[in-house]
């Protein structure tokens, strides 16, 4: 698809180089359209990303966004909902593609078609609302989350098509936002599978997990299991708020690598004996796909999208968080039985999540909304009727 002059891409803001940012950038590569962001961070932008406009450049907005946390969230929500002056130029496009929950609050003209790429439905105020602790801080957080849910739900019917990053999110969009299934499509995030390969390294004798060290990634449960397997080596790549507490509970067979570069990650994935993933009810999960693209078997929790990225006994093993088979059992099964697929077959399985598949899916969705919404009454004559009439 060549440059399409009537399309604009909206993204909440380039806070970090995360999965949502990579989706917005890949959409631009796909359609070669201008990208509008609430906050621009040129330090994380790839060199080939151009034609980027920052929308919220006022001092108060910049301070709030850079401060992070709830202040950043509220700044984005307020600006996308009310800052008509900086976003007025967006109203001239026939089609806008939004990325990030906050861009749902953008209100375009009725002649404009809107596609919304959904990474999540706001888990703190939907499926994980119960996770807030039962104390004053937890009750305040729960109330704040419910207010965010009410604000988001007010805007969820605006898009013409919702593009979800997995079948898990498609289900949540229908369940929590009450969106008709015929308005929902699934296009997996773009994973550069071609950058990973098992053939670049010799297989080592260690297990690997790569993740932000945060509570919902449940790294502590992985550590608990490998503490019981002193003859099995585990490497943990990534950093985060739980770093020190996790290291303090780990035995000597567990090695913390901290943040690793892309090249280091590719090498680790190619060398690892197996990849372990235990994130809680994951929306999609890019790390397991990168492991599979490297030909590396995955031991993953039977939750969220992770459960569908693994075919038991073929490219890895699934385990129950509570019950049987546990992660301990999955490691034992893997050690005793191995897997049936070859490295090449595992890599091929991951191709359904490739960049090419993402681009094809995005182009197909754009084709669906290529025409402007038809607001002409059925009884009003068309231009052809008028020009050809007597």
Burial 23-54 (b: 16+ CB within 10 A, else e): bbbbbbbbbebbbbbbbbbeeebeeebeebeb
Q: Please report the pLDDT score of residue 2 as a whole number.
A: 43
Q: Please report the pLDDT score of residue 171 as a whole number.
A: 94
Whether 353 contacts 289, CB under 8 Å: yes
Taking alpha carbons only, the member of 260, 254, 255, 263 closest to residue 294 is 263
**Residues in the chain with pLDDT values less than 70:** 1-5, 83-84, 200, 372, 389-390
Taking alpha carbons only, the member of 196, 189, 146, 140 closest to residue 165 is 189
Domains of the chain (ranges; CATH) run: 7-119+156-190+355-368 (3.40.50.2000), 193-351 (3.40.50.2000)
User: Mind listing the pLDDT tens digit for each residue in 215-274?
Assistant: 989 999 999 999 999 999 999 999 999 999 999 999 999 999 999 999 999 999 999 999
Q: Please report the pLDDT score of residue 165 as a whole number.
A: 95
3-class SS of residue 115: strand
Q: Which phi-psi region, left, alpha or beta, contains residue 12 (left: φ > 0; alpha: ψ -120 to 50)?
A: alpha
Residue 122 CA to residue 386 CA, distance in Å, equals: 49
User: Mind listing the pLDDT tens digit for each residue in 62-93?
Assistant: 888 888 777 888 888 888 888 667 777 898 99
Q: Which residues contact 386 (CB under 8 A, 6 or more apart)?
A: none
Question: Residue 94 gets which letter from DSSP?
Answer: S
Whether 299 contacts 278, CB under 8 Å: no
Taking alpha carbons only, the member of 165, 73, 80 closest to residue 118 is 165
Q: Please report the pLDDT score of residue 84 as a whole number.
A: 66
Q: Which residues contact 306 (CB under 8 A, 6 or more apart)?
A: 277, 279, 282, 285, 288, 300, 318
Q: Please report the pLDDT score of residue 3 as a whole number.
A: 42
Alpha helices in the chain (DSSP H): 19-31, 59-67, 69-82, 84-87, 136-153, 167-177, 219-227, 243-248, 262-271, 286-293, 327-337, 343-349, 355-368, 383-388
């Amino acid at each position: 698809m060549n440059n399409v002059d009537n399309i604009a891409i909206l993204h909440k803001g380039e806070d970090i180089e995360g999965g949502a940012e990579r989706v917005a950038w890949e959409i631009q590569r796909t359609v070669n359209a201008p990208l509008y962001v609430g906050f621009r961070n040129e330090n994380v932008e790839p060199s080939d990303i151009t034609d980027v406009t920052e929308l919220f450049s006022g001092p108060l907005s910049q301070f709030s966004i850079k401060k992070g946390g709830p202040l950043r969230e509220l700044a984005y929500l307020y600006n996308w909902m009310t800052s008509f002056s900086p976003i007025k130029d967006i109203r001239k496009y026939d089609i806008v593609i939004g990325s990030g929950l906050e861009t749902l609050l953008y209100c375009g003209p009725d002649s404009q078609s809107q596609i919304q790429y959904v990474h999540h439905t706001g888990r703190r105020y939907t499926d994980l609302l119960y996770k807030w602790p039962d104390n004053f801080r937890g009750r305040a957080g729960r109330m704040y989350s419910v207010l965010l849910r009410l604000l988001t739900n007010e805007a969820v019917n605006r898009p013409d098509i919702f593009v979800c990053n997995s079948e898990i999110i498609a289900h949540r969009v229908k369940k929590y936002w009450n969106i008709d299934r015929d308005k929902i499509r699934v296009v997996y995030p773009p994973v550069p599978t071609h950058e990973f390969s098992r053939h670049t390294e010799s297989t080592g004798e260690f297990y690997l997990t790569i993740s932000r060290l945060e509570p919902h990634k449940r790294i502590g449960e992985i550590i608990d299991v490998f503490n019981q397997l002193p003859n099995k080596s585990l490497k943990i790549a990534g950093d985060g708020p739980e770093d020190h507490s996790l290291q303090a509970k780990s035995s000597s067979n567990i090695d913390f690598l901290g943040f690793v570069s892309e090249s280091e990650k590719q090498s680790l994935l190619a060398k690892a004996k197996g990849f372990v993933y235990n994130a809680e009810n994951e929306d999609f999960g890019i790390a397991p796909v990168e492991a599979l693209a490297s030909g590396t078997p995955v031991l993953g929790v039977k939750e969220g999208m992770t459960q569908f990225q693994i075919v038991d006994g073929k490219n890895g093993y699934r385990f129950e968080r509570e019950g049987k088979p546990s992660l301990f059992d999955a490691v034992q099964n893997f050690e005793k039985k191995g897997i049936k697929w070859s490295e090449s077959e595992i890599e091929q399985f991951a191709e359904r999540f490739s960049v090419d598949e993402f681009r094809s899916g995005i182009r197909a969705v754009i084709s669906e909304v290529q025409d402007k919404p038809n607001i002409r009454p059925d009884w009003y004559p068309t231009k052809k009727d008028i020009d050809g009439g007597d």
